[in-house]
Amino acid sequence: MIDVIVAGGGPTGHLLAAELRLHGVRVLVVEKDAEPSPVVRSLGLHVRSIELLDQRGLLDRFLAHGRTYPLGGHFAGIDRPLPERMDTAHPYILGIPQTVTDRLLAEHAAAAGAEIRRGTALTGIEQDDDGVTAGLADGTRLRARWLVGCDGGRSTVRKLLGVGFPGEPAGTEWLTGELEVTMPPDELAAVVAAVRERQRGFGVGPSGDGLYRAVVPAAEVAVDRTVAPTIDQVRARLRAVAGTDFGAHSPRWLSRFGDATRLAEQYRVGRVLLAGDAAHVHPPLGGQGLNLGLQDAFNLGWKLAAEVAGWAPAGLLDSYETERRPVAAGVLDNTRAQSELLSDRPGALALRRLLAELMDVEDVTRLLVEKVTAIGVRYDVGDGPALLGRRLRDVALRRGRLYELMRGGRGLLLDRTGRLSVAGWTDRVDQVADPAAELDAPAVLLRPDGHVAWIGDDQAGLAAGLPRWFGAAA
């Protein structure tokens, strides 16, 4: 029997598979497409995703394939300087196409020992108290202890489960693609700048290899958005919006996307869970979608692995939904807000002017940046100091950096007192005693995803906190 089947071989599925393999879980990834998609829906990674890559030793590999851009105070196209002393060691955006992110994470999952089967569509799910039977399009039936649907916004897994996906359907659609143009670069840039003064949902710019990425509003929402637009349709929309088609020709790929906003009613049904776009879809404002899915996988991986290993305390796996679903709801809200603020209606323009004034207050901009980059996420792990429930930034230690010590996916006690012990949990939790650690607390207990589960200085308090997240002492 397989431990976990992951349905969907995209970035969320591949990262989840790799996280499970860190703990020796036997994982099979099944992906319906025989070849990776050439469509580039995401163009970058935000701070929290960059941090989790650093926590697993992957960041250098990603930096080598991307380009860093200074983090700014951006929200709904309103730009302000980045507030001082942002709570991260990585105050930048990593520009990297989704296709590259997916390839690097697939390589990471395969190197960790995950089996990946492409061209294999999941068509059926049956589950009982002991496991899940997955039916594939070729007639194969596979047995697993758990199954996770990471198969996108049109998730087969979610539909087979009968999980509701309430929200708003797409009201606006954009056509996009990578293509060649004949218009000289300087002339093209001037035209694009002029159009964007009145139409922010438009852009044509170089994407590398002599290609340009185009995004243009569609005339209407397509009946079937799975059908890609033609180059003639894209040229027609470019002429309608910009007055020129820029000499667009020879597309590498073309696609369409909308602003549908939906959230799954639940993330778990028995032994089947949902993650990534299978659980939530929203407009691409702020570039948060791919990042949200990666962070789902980072939260779920160690919890599901603990369940497979048999040491998970009661409620640990259910905390995946209670923690991540509110985060997704918050992203849906901030993208809805940005959509409204980008409207040209008088009321929306008045709100935009008001928000622009508010963003002159540094703490307002800080709050918005923390929302978009996800470094402001705080899970409800109980009452306590402001740091409790938040992820801990990378801090300097005598032995190097904190994130370098978290690459095994284990818990970690960072102790400045030198008096505490994780005896009984050393098979699940590491310990670092460092009085010089850059930490505004005597000691913190970190979960494998880097979030602070306990703060204090007494052994009795620590001994009470360890079982909640790491099960009974060995």
Beta bridge pairs of residue 249: 180
Would you state the pLDDT for residue 284?
81
Q: Do residues 120 and 221 share a domain? A: no
**Per-residue pLDDT reduced to its tens digit, 111-160:** 999 999 999 999 999 999 999 999 999 999 999 999 999 999 999 999 99
Would you state the pLDDT for residue 39?
79
Q: Do residues 6 and 151 share a domain? A: yes
Find the domain containing 29 and state its range: 2-167+262-346
Three-state SS annotation for 220-246: CCCCCCCCCCCHHHHHHHHHHHHCCCC
Residue 463 belongs to domain with CATH number: 3.40.30.120
Q: Do residues 236 and 277 share a domain? A: no
Would you state the pLDDT for residue 258?
82
Residue 369 within a domain: no
Q: Do residues 46 and 120 share a domain? A: yes
Mean per-residue pLDDT, 161-175: 91
**Res. 344 pLDDT band, cuts 50 70 90:** confident
User: CA–CA separation, 368 vs 359, rounded Å?
Assistant: 9
> In whole numbers, what is the pLDDT of the chain averaged over residues?
93
Q: Do residues 92 and 144 share a domain? A: yes
Q: Do residues 310 and 240 share a domain? A: no
Residue 352 within a domain: no
Number of domains in the chain: 3
Looking at per-residue pLDDT, the higher value among 335 and 266 belongs to: 266
Q: Do residues 221 and 314 share a domain? A: no
Would you state the pLDDT for residue 294?
97
Q: Do residues 179 and 240 share a domain? A: yes
Residue 412 has φ and ψ, to the nearest 5°, of -150, 130
Residue 335 within a domain: yes
**Res. 182 pLDDT band, cuts 50 70 90:** very high
Residue 185 belongs to domain with CATH number: 3.30.70.2450
Residue 366 within a domain: no
Tokens representing residue 190 in the block:
């001037």
Say if residue 225's pLDDT is above 80. Answer: no
Mean per-residue pLDDT, 88-99: 93
Say if residue 42's pLDDT is above 80. Answer: no
Q: Do residues 214 and 230 share a domain? A: yes
Among 243, 259, 275, residue at a domain's last position: 259
Among 206, 238, 259, residue at a domain's last position: 259
- Range of lowest pLDDT (66-70, 270-274, 450-454): 66-70
Q: Do residues 149 and 284 share a domain? A: yes
Q: Do residues 234 and 331 share a domain? A: no
Would you state the pLDDT for residue 162?
96
Would you state the pLDDT for residue 77?
84
Tokens representing residue 131 in the block:
């496991």
**Per-residue pLDDT reduced to its tens digit, 369-395:** 999 999 999 999 998 999 999 999 999
**Res. 194 pLDDT band, cuts 50 70 90:** very high
Question: How open is the CA angle 194-196-200, to the nearest 5 degrees?
Answer: 170
Would you state the pLDDT for residue 224?
79
Residue 388 within a domain: no
Say if residue 285's pLDDT is above 80. Answer: no
Q: Do residues 52 and 101 share a domain? A: yes
Would you state the pLDDT for residue 313?
97
Three-state SS annotation for the chain: CEEEEEECCCHHHHHHHHHHHCCCCCEEEEECCCCCCCCCCCCEECHHHHHHHHHCCCHHHHHCCCEEEECCEEECCEEECCCCCCCCCCCEEEECCHHHHHHHHHHHHHHHCCEEEECCCEEEEEECCCCEEEEECCCCEEEEEEEEECCCCCCHHHHHHCCCCCEECCCCEEEEEEEECCCCHHHHHHHHHHHHCCCCCCEEEEEECCEEEEEEECCCCCCCCCCCCCHHHHHHHHHHHHCCCCCCEEEEEEEEEECCEEECCCCEECCEEECHHHCEECCCCCCCHHHHHHHHHHHHHHHHHHHHHCCCCCCCCCHHHHHHHHHHHHHHHHHHHHHHHCCCCHHHHHHHHHHHHHCCCHHHHHHHHHHHHCCCCECCCCCCCCCCCEECCCCEECCEECHHHHCCCCEEEEECCCCCCCCCCCCCEEEEECCCCCCCCCEEEECCCCEEEEECCCHHHHHHHHHHHHCCCC
Residue 382 within a domain: no
Residue 47 belongs to domain with CATH number: 3.50.50.60
Among 259, 283, 307, residue at a domain's last position: 259
**Per-residue pLDDT reduced to its tens digit, 319-333:** 999 999 999 999 999
